[in-house]
């Protein structure tokens, strides 16, 4: 246990930027252990010596420097492979990050992270490689990407990643004076990125402001990036041993932002630990400080941290604000575009419940997923009931009135008129006939008031069902991240097909289950899952059309191959309606291939012709290169398929032959082109050529017809092989 504590204290001290802060930190944490103090001071001194090896002055590359060893045993050259180091950006417990310039095959600025000299022990190297592996798993617009990796001549590993030009999220929010609403919208994007990591089986474990960098794009939108997966952990699977490198009881992370179970040193950590950290981050973004602040040396005793996180309840955000000096409260409010009183009022109610649910000490009472947290915030922004709120009728009724203000105002006025009318009629001396007329009029008013109230309640029930279905999807995604496919399937089975919520999370979840059933030859279940995928795509927000369109091909292939012809017809009508006017050439290509796996009627062909024209114009104006030849080949296939379905054999043959010029890269694509050329030749009366193309396509499929082709491999995705097989069946029926 002593070694682990010393490692924790060393890494914490090393992360402090100022020498004075380091001395104060060590003096406080080691006041009862002089031996440990001397050891840590010695290690920090050696660290300083080691860092001197890393200091250098960037200079223009010389011919000899280009061929020099990336890192000498005791000196640091300015080149590591094809990267020229420019300046040091920062360092953590075991790695140093540099701004670097990639020299070839393209020139760009990147971030290069290399294990620090003196920290290249077996455990630290393993942890360094783990971070590289974790980042390589993910592909999300809000997570820094990995471009390259390698090992220097002296044996130290490094990896190259996207250079994130951004500012710490809390500093950015304050400098830009973002309102609470804008901060919540930004936080939702951060949750989506963490959800992606969880779905890839990675738990971050160090979510904090400095690991969320934000910048404003040219269009004015905000772009957050999650960085530093240096202490990430596998959520499940056989890689647990390789991704979990700490010893039992070891404390890894930043105390202020870590969950109680992480602070305890337990290995039983799951994705809900990140939910707690997200709660702390949101607390700080809204209120200006975390619920518990362990950043100062006197507050960073390990055992005290554990005790506080285990026993002390976090303060309510409004309570914390109320305890601040009035000047500080006014300053915080001004940075959020409001007043102190308004800020305190805003963080009560929904936001307070959301924060306290995320910060529950019992993880079973937290949000199950990051998307669940994001969805509750979205519901708050839209004026809907949040799942974290108390279930009382008063709260639900208050939300109902808030969302249907005009309806209830009208109903209230009608009710007032009814009461006033009744009161007046009681005192008026009217004839019997006039009284009956007045009664009839008031009865109609009352019925209209009841109708409006009933309609509002019905709308409330619809919104509640939608919220429940979104929660079921989030729970299913969480079960998938744990490898529990059957549990995820059971959860999704509770959602009627017509009520599947439209979201990328739902699309990813239904696709994952569909591919699982497909690979297990459960055709009926696969068709049902892919029908669910098609349904969620039909109503999903088209803002991210490229992400959405990547689901079209697998859905189309699965529906056709499992005999779900009626579902396929509905699917392609939806695809054309949703994406028929897209100006994105990538989306256009995907729609063409997904909607033309079967012969189509003239109306559908006419509707997608603008997409074919878009792809054709792109091919005619942009010359192919070695870097984009794959993309061009697939686009030739989409135009060949479109021309064939439109009964234009000459055009189809031209596009098909041009596509085969790129042969050898994707066997599934080449097989599809040969089958299309076989059908084109057959319709043109060229029987010999038709049989030649058919035999070549069949040979390519036979060559790769193993179970491996059902997974993502270098020769095509499983659905590309399904598409080739569908075209083979169509060609076989056409050829004599």
Feature table: binding site for ATP = 113
Q: Is the previous residue joined to 450 through a cis bond, with omega within 30 degrees of 0?
A: no
CA distance 71 to 77: 6
Q: Are 539 and 548 in contact (CB under 8 A)?
A: no
DSSP string across 647-691: T-HHHHHHHHHHHHTTTTS-HHHHHHHHHHHHHHHHHTT-HHHHH
- What b/e readout covers 111-145, taking b as 16+ CB neighbours within 10 angstroms? bbbbbbbbbbeeebbebbbbbbbbbebbebebbbe
Instruction: Give me the count of residues in the chain.
Output: 736
Q: Which residue is associated with the tokens 């049989």? A: 691
- What b/e readout covers 68-96, taking b as 16+ CB neighbours within 10 angstroms? bebbeeeebbbbbbbbbbeeeeebbbbbb
Tokens at 534, concatenated:
């098609």
Catalytic option among 174, 206, 471, 670: 206
- What b/e readout covers 281-290, taking b as 16+ CB neighbours within 10 angstroms? bbbbbbbbbb
Q: Which residues are CB-neighbours of 620 under 8 A, at least 6 positions away?
A: none
Binding-site sequence positions: 113
Q: Would you state the torsion angle of the CA atoms of residues 659, 663, 668, 669, taken in this order, to the nearest 10 degrees?
A: -10
Closest-CA residue to 279 (of 374, 171, 381): 374
DSSP string across 587-636: HHHHHHHHH-SS---HHHHHHHHHHHHHHHHHHHHS---TTTHHHHHHHH
Alpha-carbon Rg for the chain, nearest whole angstrom, is: 31
Looking only at the bridges linking them, the beta strands covering 233-234 and 157-162 are: unpaired
CA distance 634 to 696: 18
CA atoms within 13 Å, Cβ hemisphere of 507: 24
Residue 568's SS3 state is helix
CA 342 remoteness from chain centre: 33
CA distance 502 to 466: 10
Q: Is 206 a catalytic residue?
A: yes
Question: Positive or negative, the Cα torsion across 47, 26, 280, 372?
Answer: positive
Closest-CA residue to 79 (of 106, 102, 113): 102
Write out the catalytic residue numbers: 206
């Amino acid at each position: 246990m002593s070694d682990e504590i010393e490692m924790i204290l060393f890494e914490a001290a090393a992360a402090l930027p100022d020498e004075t802060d380091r001395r104060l930190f060590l003096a406080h944490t080691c006041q009862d252990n002089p031996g440990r103090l001397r050891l840590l001071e010695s290690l920090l001194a050696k660290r300083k010596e080691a860092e001197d090896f890393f200091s250098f002055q960037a200079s223009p590359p010389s011919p000899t420097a280009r061929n020099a060893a990336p890192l000498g045993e005791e000196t640091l050259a300015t080149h590591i492979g094809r990267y020229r180091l420019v300046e040091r950006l920062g360092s953590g417990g075991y790695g140093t990050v540099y701004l670097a310039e990639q020299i070839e095959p393209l020139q760009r600025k990147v971030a290069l992270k290399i294990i620090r000299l003196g920290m290249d022990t077996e455990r630290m190297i393993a942890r360094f490689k783990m971070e590289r592996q974790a980042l390589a798993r993910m592909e999300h617009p809000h997570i820094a990407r990995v471009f390259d990796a390698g090992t220097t001549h002296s044996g130290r590993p490094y990896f190259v990643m996207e250079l994130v030009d951004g500012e710490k999220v809390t500093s950015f929010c304050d400098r830009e004076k973002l309102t609470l609403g804008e901060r919540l919208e930004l936080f939702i994007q951060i949750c989506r990125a963490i959800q992606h990591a969880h779905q890839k089986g990675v738990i971050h474990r160090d979510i904090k402001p400095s690991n969320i960098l934000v910048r404003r794009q040219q269009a004015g939108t905000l772009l957050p990036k999650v960085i530093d997966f240096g202490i990430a952990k596998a959520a499940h699977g056989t890689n647990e041993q390789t991704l979990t490198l700490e010893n039992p009881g070891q404390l890894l992370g930043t105390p202020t932002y870590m969950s109680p179970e992480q602070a305890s040193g337990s290995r039983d950590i799951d994705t809900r630990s990140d939910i707690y950290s997200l709660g702390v981050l949101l607390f700080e973004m809204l209120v200006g400080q975390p619920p518990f602040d362990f950043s100062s040396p006197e507050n960073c005793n390990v055992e005290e941290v554990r005790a506080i996180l285990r026993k002390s309840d976090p303060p309510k955000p409004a309570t914390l604000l109320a305890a601040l000096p009035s000047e500080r409260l006014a300053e915080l409010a001004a940075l959020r575009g409001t007043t102190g009183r308004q800020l305190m009022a805003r963080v009560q109610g929904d936001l307070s419940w959301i924060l306290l649910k995320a910060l529950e000490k019992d993880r079973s009472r937290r949000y199950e997923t990051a998307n669940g947290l994001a969805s509750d915030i979205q519901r708050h922004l839209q004026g809907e009931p949040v799942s974290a709120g108390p279930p009382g009728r008063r709260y639900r009724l208050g939300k109902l009135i808030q969302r249907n203000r005009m309806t209830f105002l009208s109903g209230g006025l009608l009710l007032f008129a009814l009461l006033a009318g009744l009161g007046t009629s009681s005192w008026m001396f009217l004839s019997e006939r006039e009284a009956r007329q007045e009664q009839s009029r008031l009865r109609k008013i009352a019925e209209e008031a009841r109708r409006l109230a009933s309609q509002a309640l019905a709308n409330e029930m619809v919104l509640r069902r939608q919220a429940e279905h979104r929660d079921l999807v989030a729970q299913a995604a969480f079960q998938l991240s744990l490898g529990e496919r059957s549990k995820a399937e059971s959860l999704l089975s509770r959602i009627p097909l017509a009520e599947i919520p439209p979201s990328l999370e739902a699309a990813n979840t239904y696709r994952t289950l569909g591919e699982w059933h497909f690979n297990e030859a459960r055709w009926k279940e696969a068709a049902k899952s892919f029908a669910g995928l098609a349904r969620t795509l039909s109503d999903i927000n088209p803002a991210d059309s490229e992400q959405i369109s990547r689901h079209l091909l697998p859905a189309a292939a699965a529906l056709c191959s499992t005999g779900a012809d009626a579902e396929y017809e509905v699917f392609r009508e939806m695809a054309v309606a949703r994406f028929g006017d897209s100006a994105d050439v990538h989306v256009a290509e995907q729609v063409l291939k997904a909607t033309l796996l079967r012969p189509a009627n003239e109306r559908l062909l006419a509707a997608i012709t603008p997409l074919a024209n878009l792809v054709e114009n792109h091919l005619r104006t942009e010359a192919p290169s070695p870097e984009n030849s794959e993309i061009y080949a697939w686009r030739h296939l989409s135009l060949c398929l479109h021309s064939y379905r439109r009964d234009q054999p000459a055009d189809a043959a031209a596009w098909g032959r041009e596509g085969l010029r790129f042969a050898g890269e994707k066997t599934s694509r080449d097989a599809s082109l040969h089958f299309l050329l076989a059908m084109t030749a057959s319709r043109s009366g060229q029987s010999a050529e038709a049989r030649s193309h058919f035999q070549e396509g069949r040979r390519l499929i036979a060559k790769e017809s193993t179970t491996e082709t059902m997974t993502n491999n270098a020769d095509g995705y499983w659905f590309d092989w399904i598409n080739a097989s569908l075209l083979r069946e169509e060609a076989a029926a056409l050829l004599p």
